[in-house]
Structure 1
Amino acid sequence: MSSDWPPPAAAQLCYEHLNGSCVKTPYSPGPRLILYAAFGSGAALAVFGNLLVMISILHFKQLHSPANFLIASLACADFLVGVAVMPFSTVRSVEGCWYFGQRFCQFHSCFDGSFCYASIYHLCFISLDRYLAVTDPLLYPTRFTANVSGLCIAFSWLFSIFYSFSLFGTGANEAGLEDLVSALTCVGGCQIAVNQSWVLVNFLLFFLPMLVMIIVYSKIFLIAKQQARKIESVSNKTVRSSDSYRDRVAKRERKAAKTLGIAVVAFLISWLPYFVDSIIDAFLGFITPTYIYEILVWIAYFNSAMNPLIYAFFYPWFRKAIKLIATGKVLRENSSTIHLLSG
């Protein structure tokens, strides 16, 4: 019996005059408008929020530090998600159609994978940076230098891009799934299938740095708790100025670690369901309904818009920088020397 049944008479096709066209998602105008507004707002926040982070760190000289360059590079990955991934995924998710060509569908998947892995490896290196800063705040500047930060950034980008383009660009992800891919292929579709071998590799490349981050941040918060008790125990005693300075530095580094720890937790909550579902799907015959898949994908995408909100909430320097940029004061001569950090 043939499985090529014609679509129902009322169904709309992505391409009305082409045989084998995909069927459009049957949303009425109201829900369609709401979805476009929600997804479009997420993309806009990812673009402009992360652009503000990058401008703030790169423009103001006081923010030029190895740790902040890592944050700026992370913001760049999230910015590119907002520019090169989310707008096209918005149309695909709402319309159920891909209007941008099959070749760009492949590039879209490569961009998606590249920026996702770039984000997690940046966050992994940031967690190690915070560990060094909290365990020995006075020696930290000599251990995590600009060169070390540059190597971390270079590895995060080069590895992520090379892996994603090698996997999706060559079609290795679909090896052994040719019959399934052929059966599901229609004109106007852009769904990428990943076989069992590569889905395990994908998960490991996500899980291993995730495990490192969980272990490192667990140690950071234990150390922070010990330092807080120590400071409390000597709060009523006279301490040397060097000890007082060390305590102030340690407090600042703990606060930075807490903020970035929240960013890490937000990333894991956003992406873990997607990666778990990808394994379930690959081993149980791709059983996830389309709408569930789209929900998981967009939860992951919205993570790219969350970090600027976290920074704005916890970092006074970022709020000051936003005010200077929004009022145009950033264009004044010598604005790069404005002090944003207290103490």
Structure 2
Amino acid sequence: MNLTEFNQSDRCEHFSCPERSVSPAVYILLYVCSSAVVLLTVCGNLLIIISVFHFKQLHTPTNMLVLSLALSDFLVGTLVMPPVLIWTMESCWMFGTEFCMCVWLIIGFLTSLSIYNVALIAVDRHLALSNPFLYTHTISRRTVCTVVYCKWCLCLVYNLAFQYFNGTFTGIVMCPGECFYSMNEVWSVIDLVVTFIFPCSVIIILYARVFLIAKKHATAIRQLNNHTRPKTQKMTMNLSMKSERKAAKVLGILVSVFLVCLLPYFIYSVLGDVVELQLETFRKVLIMAYLNSTINPVIYALFYPWFRKCIKLIITWQIFQTDSALINVLS
């Protein structure tokens, strides 16, 4: 959330939407590129949602968290990206005050939801690697679905309460063509801790431990592999070691991209009271934060063969065949 203080009467009296500063060709190109980004975000995350929903082999506890992340990214592509991209290209908010309030509520909800999705994936991977036996016998798909449902409800309730106590629903007065609101200083600190500092601390700490555990496992497997063992057993160990390395690599890429995309948004939110607000810069930072929703499906497509296989089955309509849900997509 961005903290902005306005003298509303002065601003509205002198405010007018700036004229377009680019040529018609560039203007059309911007809309084409923006449409492509939105389409990639929506279609990419929709493919993940269909894959996890349809193929029974993917009905695992971890994939329920992946499904939740893909669903939140899908909502970003459908509800947030189009108005924000139009706002950026037109340099003027064209959708009215009521829709502006709705957009900020959705932005707050989906931002906190995405961060806690990644945090729960970190918890899941840490439990799976640190105590595999306990994880297998205690963490079920139903348990994870219950946790995901509660998380969605809590994020929605928190953001409704945040907007209400911040006075967004009653005290907001915006000039035509603008889409900003003032934020209470106390609530801005609370929001920063709840939606960024706490979940990101969990993510960084647990993923650091995941990497250490994965490295420890790989070292142990390598030491065992150096001893005289049957060839088939060595091959199994090598595959396991490679699998853990690949898992650690993909996790690192996902978390790094996530933090790189969202960190500027929260830094800008914190400095909104200290430095003069630059509207154009803020819009670019906001777009960068939500490009993470576009990048996630690309990462899955690059590093997960099962996702590429699912895409092929979906776009060739094979999922409509009898018993297609039982197809082995992990081989």
Q: Is the TM-score greater than 0.5? A: yes
Instruction: Find the counterpart in structure 2 of residue 263 from structure 1.
Output: 254
Please say if residues 317 and 341 of structure 1, whose CA atoms lie closer than 8 Å, have aligned partners that are also in contact.
Answer: yes
CA shift at 1:201, angstroms? 1.6
Which amino acid is 1:154 matched to?
A: Y
Please say if residues 102 and 190 of structure 1, whose CA atoms lie closer than 8 Å, have aligned partners that are also in contact.
Answer: yes
CA shift at 1:246, angstroms? 8.5
Instruction: Find the counterpart in structure 2 of residue 287 from structure 1.
Output: 276
Structure 1 unaligned regions, length at least 5 = 8-19
CA shift at 1:123, angstroms? 0.7
CA shift at 1:4, angstroms? 7.0
Change (3 A) 1:24 1:115: farther
Q: In 2, Cα distance between the equivalents of 1:108 and 1:305?
A: 19
Instruction: Find the counterpart in structure 2 of residue 335 from structure 1.
Output: 324
Q: Please point out which of 165, 190, 215 is paired with 1:225.
A: 215
Please say if residues 122 and 207 of structure 2, whose CA atoms lie closer than 8 Å, have aligned partners that are also in contact.
Answer: yes
Q: Please point out which of 180, 192, 201 is paired with 1:191.
A: 180
Which amino acid is 2:80 matched to?
A: V
Tell me the number of residue pairs that the alignment of Structure 1 and Structure 2 aligns.
321
For 2:181, what is the secondary structure of its paired residue?
coil
Please say if residues 40 and 90 of structure 1, whose CA atoms lie closer than 8 Å, have aligned partners that are also in contact.
Answer: no
Please say if residues 173 and 195 of structure 1, whose CA atoms lie closer than 8 Å, have aligned partners that are also in contact.
Answer: no
Change (3 A) 1:222 1:339: same
Of 103-112 and 76-85, more deviation after overlay is shown by 103-112
- Tell me if 1:55 matches 2:45: no
Q: Deviations over 1:233-278 (max 9, x none)?
A: 1113356999997886676466435423321221111111111111
Please say if residues 319 and 325 of structure 2, whose CA atoms lie closer than 8 Å, have aligned partners that are also in contact.
Answer: yes
Higher relative contact order, structure no. (Cα contacts within 8 Å, ≥ 6 residues apart): 2
Which amino acid is 2:254 matched to?
A: A
Q: In 2, Cα distance between the equivalents of 1:51 and 1:104?
A: 25
Which amino acid is 2:321 matched to?
A: R
- Tell me if 1:161 matches 2:156: yes
Of 93-102 and 69-78, more deviation after overlay is shown by 93-102
Structure 2 unaligned regions, length at least 5 = 1-8
Please say if residues 77 and 115 of structure 1, whose CA atoms lie closer than 8 Å, have aligned partners that are also in contact.
Answer: yes
Matches within 5 A, 1:1-343: 22-168=17-163, 171-172=166-167, 185-205=174-194, 206-238=196-228, 252=243, 255-281=246-272, 283-284=273-274, 287-342=276-331
For 1:234, what is the secondary structure of its paired residue?
helix
Please say if residues 218 and 241 of structure 2, whose CA atoms lie closer than 8 Å, have aligned partners that are also in contact.
Answer: no
For 1:325, what is the secondary structure of its paired residue?
helix
Please say if residues 50 and 79 of structure 1, whose CA atoms lie closer than 8 Å, have aligned partners that are also in contact.
Answer: yes
Q: In 2, Cα distance between the equivalents of 1:168 and 1:40?
A: 30
Q: In 2, Cα distance between the equivalents of 1:4 and 1:115?
A: 30
CA shift at 1:113, angstroms? 0.9
Please say if residues 78 and 119 of structure 1, whose CA atoms lie closer than 8 Å, have aligned partners that are also in contact.
Answer: yes
Q: In 2, Cα distance between the equivalents of 1:239 and 1:146?
A: 37
Q: Deviations over 1:23-74 (max 9, x none)?
A: 4554332332233233222211111000000000110000001110110111
CA shift at 1:142, angstroms? 1.4
CA shift at 1:171, angstroms? 4.8
Q: In 2, Cα distance between the equivalents of 1:246 and 1:157?
A: 39
Q: Deviations over 1:292-337 (max 9, x none)?
A: 1111111101011111011111111001001111111111111110
Change (3 A) 1:261 1:160: farther
Please say if residues 166 and 184 of structure 2, whose CA atoms lie closer than 8 Å, have aligned partners that are also in contact.
Answer: no
Q: In 2, Cα distance between the equivalents of 1:229 and 1:56?
A: 34
Q: In 1, Cα distance between the equivalents of 2:312 and 2:102?
A: 37
Q: In 1, Cα distance between the equivalents of 2:202 and 2:219?
A: 26
Q: Deviations over 1:87-124 (max 9, x none)?
A: 11111111122222211111111111111111111110
CA shift at 1:151, angstroms? 3.1
Which amino acid is 1:221 matched to?
A: F
Please say if residues 117 and 156 of structure 1, whose CA atoms lie closer than 8 Å, have aligned partners that are also in contact.
Answer: no
For 2:225, what is the secondary structure of its paired residue?
coil
Change (3 A) 1:334 1:154: same
Which amino acid is 2:120 matched to?
A: F
Instruction: Find the counterpart in structure 2 of residue 12 from structure 1.
Output: none
For 1:186, what is the secondary structure of its paired residue?
coil
Please say if residues 44 and 297 of structure 2, whose CA atoms lie closer than 8 Å, have aligned partners that are also in contact.
Answer: yes
Of 60-69 and 186-195, more deviation after overlay is shown by 186-195
Q: In 1, Cα distance between the equivalents of 2:237 and 2:118?
A: 26
Of 50-59 and 192-201, more deviation after overlay is shown by 192-201
Q: In 2, Cα distance between the equivalents of 1:226 and 1:119?
A: 30
Which amino acid is 1:166 matched to?
A: A
For 1:287, what is the secondary structure of its paired residue?
coil
